[in-house]
Amino acid sequence: MTDYVLAVDVGGTKVEAALVAADGVLSPGSRDRRPTGHDSTSDQLADAVRAVTRHALAALGDDDVLVGAGIGSAGPVDLVAGTVSPINLPAWRGFPLRGLVVELLAEAAPAAGAPGELPVTLRLDGVSLALAEHWVGATQGVDNAVAITVSTGVGGGLIVNGRLLSGGTGNAGHIGQIQIADRPAGESAWAATLEVIASGPNVVRWAQEQGWQGERGEDLAAGYVAGDVVAVAAVRRSANAVGEAISSVSTLLDLDVAAIGGGFSRVSDDYLDLVRTTVEEAPVNGYARRVRVVRSGLSDESPLVGAAALVWQADLLG
């Protein structure tokens, strides 16, 4: 008999679910993924959540027990209402995601082997990631850390004084939306954010505006290796922005470790070294230079592990 948590992750390009055991390991065959995207309708997104959740729950064995559900979602989120408004999924504004998962669990009972009403916890995906890194990843045993994912977007979460920092609305750690540059004339504040400067699609877009002829992050990686001037400048611009953000957050919170993951953080072999250089140079106060920049200790399963950690590590929730 094995106890499992249902983990659900909603991102800008995919929604997925799986069963996760108390050691952070996914149950074989329980993981399912469906695509999402900027043009997805609300019904399409909800149907994707239904499909992956039902697939995961169907993988429960006769002697297995479901002990709860954790949901990590791109934000902003509203913990009181149980709703999500992912920036890159405009069809969902104030969507009752927690309620949908509660309905799906009720639909699955009693096959899920659940002892009464189960805890269903919703948090920002970056917040969930920080908890996963603290649980089974690169920041185990560290009381003050930030976890950052640099991918289609830029997300993050914080462990402060050994506890997950959620904030007043549950959106603490939303590092992708902090402003790290001067706002261009005539542009909104969005144009000055870390996500616009450092995330994969936005870095590609910036390079194209400089005359680069590639189309994808993979092309940018090849151009960087080949020494293409624009590709090199684009990658360094992204890494520098991430370093500046870490420097600012470390100055504010006196952090010990910054763990970086996400597909675009692997665009070059020296991406983390570039980030470290900025972290060494940018702070005004010396204590902020002590933060160690490390590679995420998690695989591509990290969003699901993070969602499950919301239940398995519930005692650390702020």
The widest CA-to-CA distance across the chain, in whole angstroms, is: 62
The yes-or-no verdict on residue 115 having pLDDT over 50 is no
Over residues 290-310, the mean pLDDT reads 93
Q: What's the pLDDT band for 88 if we cut at 50, 70, 90?
A: confident
Digit-coded pLDDT (tens) for 180-228: 887 777 777 888 899 999 999 999 999 999 999 999 999 999 999 999 9
Q: For residue 283, say if its preceding peptide bond is cis, omega within 30 degrees of 0.
A: no
Give the residue among 74, 285, 304 at the shortest CA–CA distance from 177.
Answer: 74
Average pLDDT over residues 230-238: 98
Phi and psi at 221, nearest 5°, equal -60, -45
pLDDT, mean of residues 164-181: 88
Percent of the chain at pLDDT > 90 equals 79
Residue ranges and CATH numbers for the domains of the chain are 3-127 (3.30.420.40), 138-295 (3.30.420.40)
Residues 7-13: what's their mean pLDDT?
92
